Amino acid sequence: MAGRGERSATPEAGAAGGVAQPAASDRPDASAAWRAEVQRRLLGWFQQHRRPLPFRSGRTPYRVLVAEFMLQQTRAEAVGPFFERFVRRFPDVPALAAAADDEVLAVWQGLGYYRRARLLRAAAAEMQARHGGAVPSDPAALRALPGVGPYIAAAVGAFAFGRDEAACDANVRRVLARLCDAPRPDAALAARLLPVGRGPEWNEALMDFGSAVCIPRTPRCAACPLSDVCAGRRAGRAALLPERPPRRPRPEVVVTVLVARDAQGRFGLVRRPATGLLGGLWELPAAEGALDPGEVARRHALRLTAAAVPLAAFRHVFTHRAWTVRPFAASAAADGPEPSAVRWVAAEALAGVPLGGPSARLVAGALRPSAK
């Protein structure tokens, strides 16, 4: 269970435009003796350096499933506080299945990738309806749950049910790629290295090793207990592995936002579309472009009661795009001449409303004593 979405350095140019993939028979993992030595050393390292992550204690199939949903594209160290808050609020499948999407999104708020939260709640509803409120142990039933793909299914199989399944996250792929000099490590390679009867421990060892020693871009080879048996290091290209496609440019978008409040001090909020960026979350009225605040108000059928006041602009970076946010403090009437999708929420009720990151920042700023 390690951080997801990590990137390796740009690979050397090879015959096919990347790092050449050696034949499986030429790689060290073809040797049973090499595999046994790697397993011995890595499991020994793990006994001394195992990370005390909160989702590793008190494991149940449900807690494992929640953790694995959260760990998609998110570093393990960042997940801990969110995991503890989530399982306190939704301690089991029935509690999560009975919750409304907004309840789940509000507890998930700050972790990002909100589609994961909606899929997790949908999976809970499916488990409640079809599996008696339990996480199914059958691999096919597990894979049929919303949001459960090959990685989550393997991780739950290993960590919740003790099976010898190889769970390949970014850390694991990086370690295997370097150890075996395999630019594109696959599931067959991961399964071949897994020691029989030690699936859960082996997966965690690889994940922790990739987080602490075999890190992206600058592997700590001098501190590595496997350096003398590492084929990637011997070939002089450990830092270049695994091969990754070039990073696409991140689009830059200007967004004009109204921190709209009515005469009672309530905030005007609108819900984003269910799919896409920040899908289903609430946000302050906004529109793309460096727009006049009156134009943003018009698009949301808001009637401003005073001239909008510009606030400090800021940049908010998402994984695949970045916003330059141009905020304005705006006084508005709660009842305009036209129907509006704006919902007016008192400050004390905001804790139950899932807000997108930029809007959460602006609302928090508006509520600070110095802003009043």
The CATH class of 24-240 is: mainly alpha
* Beta strand residue intervals within 157-241, DSSP E: none
**Long-range CB pairs of 272-281, under 8 A, 24+ apart, other chains included:** 272/356, 275/115, 277/318, 277/321, 278/114, 278/356, 278/357, 279/114, 279/115, 279/118, 280/101, 280/105, 280/114, 280/118, 280/354, 281/105, 281/114, 281/354, 281/355, 281/356
Q: What is the per-residue pLDDT for 335?
A: 86
pLDDT digits 0-9 by tens, 174-211: 999 999 999 999 989 999 999 999 999 999 999 999 99
State the span(s) of the chain assigned CATH 3.90.79.10.
252-371
Cα–Cα distance, 261 to 66 (Å, whole number): 36
Closest of 336, 21, 356, 331 to residue 177, by C-alpha: 21
pLDDT digits 0-9 by tens, 159-175: 999 999 999 999 999 99
pLDDT digits 0-9 by tens, 255-295: 999 999 999 999 999 999 988 999 999 999 999 999 999 99
Q: What is the per-residue pLDDT for 260?
A: 98
Among all residues, which ones are annotated catalytic?
A: 68
pTM of the complete model: 0.85
Closest of 359, 367, 371, 370 to residue 266, by C-alpha: 367
Q: Which residue has the tokens 């460096």?
A: 290
Closest of 207, 195, 193 to residue 24, by C-alpha: 193
Q: Please indicate whether residue 244 or residue 136 has the higher confidence score (pLDDT).
A: 136
252-371: which CATH number, 3.90.79.10, 3.40.1080.10, 2.40.40.20, 3.30.910.10?
3.90.79.10
Q: What is the per-residue pLDDT for 247?
A: 85
Cα–Cα distance, 277 to 342 (Å, whole number): 19
Please tell me the number of Cα atoms within 13 Å of 338 on its side-chain side: 10
State the span(s) of the chain assigned CATH 1.10.340.30.
24-240
Asked if pLDDT for residue 4 goes beyond 80, the answer is no
pLDDT digits 0-9 by tens, 321-356: 999 999 999 999 998 777 789 999 999 999 999 999
The percent helix, strand, coil of the chain (3-state, each to 5) is 45, 10, 45
